[in-house]
Each structure stands twice: as structure tokens, then as C-alpha cells.
């Protein structure tokens, strides 16, 4: 349902993660967005370039550190929040039907731990000197 709605607008399903992050933390750096969406920085740049071409974001050089680029939502992307969040809530409701709150909490905690472990390993690997 959500992917179909995004596709109708001509958006990639990958945009969802960046939109959600920016609805929460608008104006962050590209690097921070890569962290929030758990993708590599080059992947983030590719997705953000596509979002920029479609008028969903604008990128501005950081005033304090010219090496950094801050990303902000356009009014068009901000308005999508009111359309897409209810769809996502509905999907989550369907997915969790018949699952107790305790089981759902356990599941989400386990998934978060798995994501944290993978992120820690990615940081460790990126800190290792290459041969």
C-alpha cells in the first residue's frame, strides 16, 4: 500500500526512510541521514540526488563547515507526511494483528539489537586499516 502510494507519485520506496528521518530531524547533514537510514554515505547521496531532482529536498552547504551539506525538506515533501504516515500506521496495524503487545515489544527489541549489532560491526570494519 505504501509502496504503491509512493510509486503513484513517481518516488522510489527507498525515499520512505529518508522522508521519515527528515520529518523527525529536518536540516541534518547527509552523513547524519546515512546514519539514520542505516545506509552507506554513497547510497545516501544517490537517494538524495533523486529526491532533489523530484523537488522533495534542498541541499545547502553548511555555514559552519563548508565540507558538510545539510538536507531540508521542501513544502511538497513536508505535506506528504500527512498522507503517508496514516498509511504506514494502517500497515503496521495489519501486520501486528493477533500479536500481543508483549510479543511485539520483544520482537521490536530483538530487531533493534540486531540492527545495533550490524551498525557496530560496520563501524568497526570501516575503522580498520585497508590492506
Q: Map residue 71 onto helix, strand or coil.
A: strand
Q: Where are the beta strands (DSSP E) in the chain?
A: 57-61, 69-73
Higher pLDDT, 98 or 88: 98
Alpha-carbon distances of 47 from 15, 34, 91, 104, 115, rounded to whole Å: 7, 10, 24, 31, 21
Q: What is the pLDDT, as a whole number, of residue 77?
A: 96
Q: Above 80 in pLDDT, residue 5?
A: no
Q: What is the pLDDT, as a whole number, of residue 3?
A: 81
| Mean model confidence pLDDT for the chain | 91
Confidence class for position 76, pLDDT limits 50, 70, 90: very high
CA count, 13 A, side-chain hemisphere, 92: 9
Q: Above 70 in pLDDT, residue 87?
A: yes
Q: What is the mean pLDDT of residues 51-62?
A: 94
CA 82 – CA 85 distance, rounded (Å): 6
Q: Above 90 in pLDDT, residue 115?
A: no
Residue 45: partners with Cβ closer than 8 Å, 6 or more residues away: 30
Q: What is the pLDDT, as a whole number, of residue 6?
A: 79
Task: Answer yes or no: are the C-beta atoms of 69 and 29 closer than 8 Å.
Answer: yes
Of the given ranges (4-13, 74-83, 115-124), which has the lowest mean pLDDT?
4-13
Q: What is the pLDDT, as a whole number, of residue 93?
A: 93
Amino acid at each position: 500500500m505504501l509502496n504503491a502510494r509512493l510509486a503513484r507519485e513517481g518516488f522510489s520506496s527507498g525515499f520512505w526512510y529518508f522522508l521519515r528521518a527528515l520529518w523527525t530531524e529536518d536540516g541534518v547533514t547527509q552523513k547524519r541521514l546515512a546514519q539514520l537510514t542505516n545506509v552507506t554515505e554513497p547510497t545516501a547521496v544517490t537517494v538524495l540526488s533523486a529526491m532533489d531532482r523530484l523537488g522533495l529536498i534542498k541541499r545547502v552547504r553548511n555555514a559552519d563547515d563548508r565540507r558538510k551539506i545539510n538536507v531540508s525538506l521542501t513544502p511538497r515533501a513536508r505535506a506528504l507526511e500527512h498522507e503517508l504516515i496514516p498509511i504506514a500506521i494502517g500497515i503496521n496495524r495489519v501486520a501486528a494483528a493477533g500479536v500481543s503487545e508483549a510479543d511485539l515489544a520483544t520482537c521490536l527489541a530483538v530487531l533493534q539489537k540486531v540492527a545495533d549489532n550490524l551498525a557496530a560491526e560496520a563501524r568497526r570494519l570501516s575503522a580498520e586499516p585497508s590492506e
